[in-house]
């Protein structure tokens, strides 16, 4: 029952994330006006705006003008439904599970915005960083931290995680720039990895960088091999970091980070 509710909540959150992805890069308001058809600009009625379901019933077209609606909308809604369901079950239905669903939503928004615009909005990266630090007393990732998981030691672990994430990403960016003579990672990625560290600690930030770099390289190399990406063409890294960070919420890989799991 609660799992079903979590899935529904996730799909509605996905619907909101679509609005965030569409409007935040343009500096538009999230609350006004309501959803509109991208073709005819007429507002979409609430019964045509039900996550996933409306898209399927209307076969991906606007009811008024028949214009095509991007399949990305139901995809993000279904993805968030699945993530919310998984995180809720894995987190044992706790308040923390609910908070990770929110964080996963912000990460999904980061992934799509970076994919579209090559930019990660500070509202999302720094917002996640602040939330991770402030919510650290509730964070089970830091239960084993120094000082038996007291609230202040959890906050310290979160702070160490954020600093480690920042340092790892900044060092990789510097190194990458010297090595490839081009910017491989931007300031947005550095802030994002700091935020990931605030939520999942130093080990989480390290895992995220490893998994993200691995997935990103496979994607970049395969697209270069297919001839659809040129050697010096920019490629967003945020989507891979975000995906890795969401993966971390499910399972932290024991990479044996030298600093250990604080």
Contact residues for Zn ion, defined by CB under 5 A: 37, 39-40, 62, 64-65, 67
How many helices (DSSP H) and strands (DSSP E) are in the chain? 8, 0
Q: What residues have CB less than 8 Å from 183, skipping those under 6 apart?
A: 173, 176, 177, 234
Looking at the Cβ atoms of 34 and 260, the one nearer to Zn ion is: 34
Looking at the Cβ atoms of 37 and 196, the one nearer to Zn ion is: 37
Report, in Å, the least distance between residue 68 CB and Zn ion: 9
The conformation of residue 43, written as its DSSP 8-state character, comes to B
- Helix residue ranges, H only, 226-237: none
Report, in Å, the least distance between residue 67 CB and Zn ion: 5
Report, in Å, the least distance between residue 208 CB and Zn ion: 40
Two structure tokens written together for 124: 């999302």
Cβ(185)–Cβ(125) under 8 Å? no
Looking at the Cβ atoms of 37 and 243, the one nearer to Zn ion is: 37
Report, in Å, the least distance between residue 222 CB and Zn ion: 36
Q: Which pairs count as long-range contacts for 163-166, CB under 8 Å and 24+ apart, including other chains?
A: 163/194, 163/197, 164/197, 164/201, 164/202, 164/205, 164/206, 164/259, 165/193, 165/194, 165/195, 165/196, 165/197, 165/198, 165/202, 165/205, 165/208, 165/209, 166/190, 166/191, 166/193, 166/194, 166/197
From the CB of residue 262, how many other CB atoms can be counted at a distance below 10 Å? 23
Opening angle at CA 9, ends 112 and 45, nearest 5 = 80
Looking at the Cβ atoms of 35 and 117, the one nearer to Zn ion is: 35
From the CB of residue 196, how many other CB atoms can be counted at a distance below 10 Å? 35
Report, in Å, the least distance between residue 59 CB and Zn ion: 14
Looking at the Cβ atoms of 34 and 67, the one nearer to Zn ion is: 67
Looking at the Cβ atoms of 54 and 100, the one nearer to Zn ion is: 54
Looking at the Cβ atoms of 18 and 172, the one nearer to Zn ion is: 18
Looking at the Cβ atoms of 63 and 223, the one nearer to Zn ion is: 63
Report, in Å, the least distance between residue 141 CB and Zn ion: 45
Report, in Å, the least distance between residue 93 CB and Zn ion: 40
Report, in Å, the least distance between residue 38 CB and Zn ion: 8
Residue identified by tokens 């615009």 is 117
């Amino acid at each position: 029952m609660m799992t079903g509710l979590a899935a529904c909540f996730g799909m509605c959150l996905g619907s909101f994330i679509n609005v965030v992805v569409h409007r935040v890069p343009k500096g538009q308001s999230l609350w006004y006006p309501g959803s509109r058809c991208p073709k005819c600009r007429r507002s979409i009625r609430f019964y045509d705006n039900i996550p996933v379901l409306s898209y399927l019933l209307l076969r991906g077209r606007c009811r008024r003008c028949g214009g095509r609606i991007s399949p990305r909308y139901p995809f993000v809604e279904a993805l968030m439904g699945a993530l919310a369901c998984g995180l809720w079950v894995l987190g044992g239905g706790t308040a923390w599970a609910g908070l990770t669903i929110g964080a996963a939503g912000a990460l999904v928004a980061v992934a799509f915005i970076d994919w579209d615009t090559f930019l990660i909005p500070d509202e999302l990266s720094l917002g996640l960083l602040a939330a991770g630090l402030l919510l650290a007393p509730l964070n089970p990732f830091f239960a084993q931290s120094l000082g038996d998981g007291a609230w202040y030691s959890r906050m310290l672990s979160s702070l160490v995680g954020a600093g480690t994430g920042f340092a790892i990403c900044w060092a990789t960016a510097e190194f990458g720039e010297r090595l490839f003579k081009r910017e491989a990672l931007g300031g947005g990625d550095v802030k994002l990895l700091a935020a990931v560290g605030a939520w999942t600690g130093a080990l989480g930030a390290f895992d995220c960088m490893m998994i993200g770099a691995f997935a990103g390289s496979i994607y970049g190399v395969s697209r270069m091999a297919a001839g659809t990406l040129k050697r010096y063409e920019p490629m967003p890294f945020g989507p891979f970091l975000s995906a890795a960070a969401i993966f971390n919420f499910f399972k932290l890989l024991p990479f044996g980070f030298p600093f250990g799991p604080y």
